Amino acid sequence: MNRSVGILHLSDVHFGRDAQLAQLEQVEDFAPKLEPDAVVVSGDLTQRARHGEFQAAHALIRRLSKTAPTLVVPGNHDVQWWESPLHIFGKSRIYAKYCRWFGSELTPTLEIPGAVIAGALTAHGVAAGSLTWNLRDIAVKGHLPKSETDRLAAIFARAPAGVAKVVVMHHNVLPGAISRRMGLAHWQDAQRRLAATGADAVLCGHDHQEAAEQLDGRLAISTSSTQTSRTRGRRASVFNVVRIDESSVEVQHFGWEVATRRFVPAETATFKRVAAAPVVSAAGGDDPKTD
């Protein structure tokens, strides 16, 4: 890898009642100045999976795509889980509206010079793999099937040597600093399998609080906040810019400044980029903890 790669990372824009249009307009204006190589939105484009909300999100992504190639994945708010709880009427029904506006590929892959960015699906509605004993987790908690991490490992194994390998998924991989909640059910297993894919970084959201952390001393985790009024602990809204070069992964936060009504640079975390060969499982199918 002989060049750095910059990724503008947004999440949880939640078009609907709580979306902050002034912030989203600022993101659009600011994006070209950041000169990203790609833009990703890690889910929860809508609040209630309504057509008008998807339409607004589609327009935002189309405008951002004029700055750089874009990749989006669905979040739990983008899923019509009530159309097929526990997938009793099949799984495709719960993604029908999302697919109408963003295409049938729920796990897109974006290849740009210097990087392979792969989407992973963690938003499955009310599904066996996401169920926990906590009732508040129903239709909120996500899960990462083994078939997904096997697919990611295979994608990264085929990638040219040295390129940045990035996963984009909705649910937070590590617990929120305020909420202390994990986004994923069976998170220990999911973390282990993510670390074995060969990825350099995971870009996620869901918790509505920004974070930049490292898993197992090698996998950088960028958690973007939200451009809504529902930030965790009433903190300022934040989006991230992730920069990856030969030796490091840098996550920089840009926070909303109320007085000036603009985003300004905030904290930056830099992690050593540790080369790791992806591990492709020989066994097919999902593990017993996922559906």
Residues counted in the chain:
291
Cβ neighbours of residue 161 under 8 Å, at least 6 residues apart?
A: none
The pLDDT value recorded for residue 285 is 43
Q: What pLDDT, in 10s, does the model give residues 175-226? A: 999 999 999 999 999 999 999 999 999 999 999 999 999 999 999 999 999 9
Question: Torsion-angle region of residue 233: left (phi > 0), alpha (psi -120 to 50) or beta?
Answer: left
Q: What domains can be seen in the chain, in order of their start residue? A: 5-272 (3.60.21.10)
Structure tokens at 78: 């983008």
What is the reported pLDDT for 136? 87
pTM, 2 dp: 0.93
Point out the residues of the chain with pLDDT beneath 70.
1-2, 276-291
Q: Among candidates 153, 155, 186, which has minimal Cα distance to 281?
A: 153
